[in-house]
Amino acid sequence: MPTAARVCVLPQEPGPLSVMDLALPDPGPHQVVIKQFASGVCHSQLHQIHNPRETPVLLGHESTGIVLKTGNNVTTVAEGDTVLVTWVPKDARSTGRRPAPSSIELPDGTMAVARNAFTWADHTIVDELFAVKVANDIDREVTAIVGCAVMTGAGAVEKTAGVRSGDSVAIFGVGGVGLSAVVAASHIGAHPIIAIDLDEEKLQFARQFGATHTINANETDPVEAIRALTVRDGELTSRREAVAGADFVFDCIGTKQTMEQIAPAARTGYFGAERGGTAVLVGVPQTTVELSAIDMLTNEKRFIGSYGGSCSPEKDFPRFLDWHASGKLDLNKLVTCRYEIEDINEAIHALEHGEIAGRAILVFD
């Protein structure tokens, strides 16, 4: 029997999303139908909204919900399980199966398709590899942001970069992803933890999560400011410049400008004595970048990508939920705005205009 669902649909032609009453089909062999409590609203969906598309599109890729129905071959979740929905498939190595993206037929007969899962809906249908079973007694709303924001930000620091106690860290962009990176760096004992953004309110908010220094890139050149905060007295590079820069510099935005700032802001190295710092791209880029090859070479710097924070959802999500339960990661503080599904276009507008400190969520029911 189909499941009634209210779903945000992005039309093929440019324009606002519509909220439609649709029927979700019964789950295919590897699919599950989930009643959702809340979903995050993430920056990468803005890119999808602005890019051309060949069909109507279903959006959203992080949520908390409960499994209503399972397909015949589903083995990892059962009806009644509480799950977090994400866009990184769980058990990616062991199953040997690629998850199928979700799609739904619209009343006019066209198919609306998702890139992987979709969560801007009160009910969703997804491949079981995108649904991670978690404890039933978790907070049902604020945990919705674990499936992208927390995974991407905290994972980039912990797993991709492997930041260690005492390392210096700079983080460009302190929205939901960047703040999760700040929290992870703070737990590890990184110092300093430098937050860079264009908005003073967001920078002050980042201090509440563990940022030790803030730089407003509207007022100051962030590369110079990071280097000034991390300069090592009396140490010179092979080119007789002061050794300066952060050990790890994270770009949680992914614009051409920020991508071209993170490598220059990474620490300079010195022959075999010390490798240079690492620039870590976390935000989803829309352009290519230019790097100074001589800076990368002579200072032994690295520029690496972090996709979904190098996380394994089935292993890492329970850990992030423990962080929340123990107060290490206060998701109640990180979630700053709640919207009803009917207000999705308002939420997108606010996100686009930098009005959301932390992360916004859609709350269903």
Beta-bridge partners for 240: none
The window from 39-47, 127-135, 185-193, 326-334 that contacts Zn ion (CB under 5 A) reads 39-47
Any residues with CB less than 8 A from the CB of 232 and at least 6 apart, and which? 242, 243, 244
In whole angstroms, the minimum distance from the beta carbon of 42 to Zn ion comes to 3
CB 186, min distance to Zn ion, A: 22
Handedness of CA 266, 267, 268, 270 (dihedral sign): negative
Which is nearer to Zn ion, 177 or 244 (by Cβ)? 177
How far apart, in whole angstroms, are the C-alpha atoms of residue 34 and residue 13? 29
Structure tokens belonging to residue 264: 């220059």
Kindly state the smallest distance separating residue 308's Cβ from Zn ion, in Å.
9
Segment near Zn ion (CB under 5 A), from 41-49, 221-229, 283-291, 302-310? Answer: 41-49
CB of 304 to Zn ion, least distance (A): 19
User: Tokens for 274?
Assistant: 């010390």
Name which of 42 and 174 has its Cβ closer to Zn ion.
Answer: 42
Q: Considering the complex, state which of residue 144 and residue 265 has its C-beta at the smaller distance from Zn ion.
A: 144
CA distances from 206 to 31, 81, 184, 201 (A): 38, 34, 12, 9
Q: How far is the CB of 87 from Zn ion (least distance, A)?
A: 7
Asked if 148 interacts with Zn ion (CB under 5 A), we say: yes
In a 3-state reduction of DSSP, which class is residue 309?
helix
44 binds Zn ion (CB under 5 A): yes
One DSSP character per residue, 180-200 reads HHHHHHHHHT-S-EEEEES-H
Compute the Cα dihedral for 33, 34, 35, 38 and give only its sign. negative
Nearest to 88 by CA among 284, 252, 308, 315: 308
Q: How far is the CB of 301 from Zn ion (least distance, A)?
A: 27
Among 19, 22, 42, 59, the residue binding Zn ion under the rule CB under 5 A is 42
Provide the 10 A C-beta neighbour count for residue 173: 26
The span of 27-35, 88-96, 141-149, 164-172 binding Zn ion (CB under 5 A) equals 141-149
Region near Zn ion per CB under 5 A, out of 22-30, 38-46, 213-221, 312-320: 38-46
The DSSP element (H or E) to which 254 belongs, if any, is none
Number of shown-chain residues binding Zn ion (CB under 5 A): 3
| Complex with Zn ion: residue 277 or 309, whichever CB lies closer | 309
Q: Is 82 helix (H, G, I), strand (E, B) or coil?
A: strand
What minimum distance in Å lies between the beta carbon of 40 and Zn ion? 7
φ/ψ of 256, rounded to 5, equals -55, -45
Closest to 266 in 3D by CA, of 306, 226, 220? 226
Query: Mask of contacts with Zn ion, 300-329, x by CB under 5 A?
Result: ------------------------------
Contact range with Zn ion by CB under 5 A, out of 36-44, 178-186, 212-220, 342-350: 36-44
Least gap, CB of 192 to Zn ion (angstroms): 27
| Residue of minimal Cβ distance to Zn ion | 42
Q: 270 vs 307, which CB is nearer to Zn ion?
A: 307
Strand partners, 337: 360
Q: Which stretch binds Zn ion (CB under 5 A): 19-27, 108-116, 142-150, 185-193?
A: 142-150
**What's the DSSP call for residue 236?**
B
Q: Which is nearer to Zn ion, 44 or 95 (CB)?
A: 44
Cβ at position 136, least distance to Zn ion in Å: 25
Task: Tell me phi and psi for residue 302, to 5 degrees.
Answer: -125, 150
**Site residues for Zn ion per CB under 5 A:** 42, 44, 148
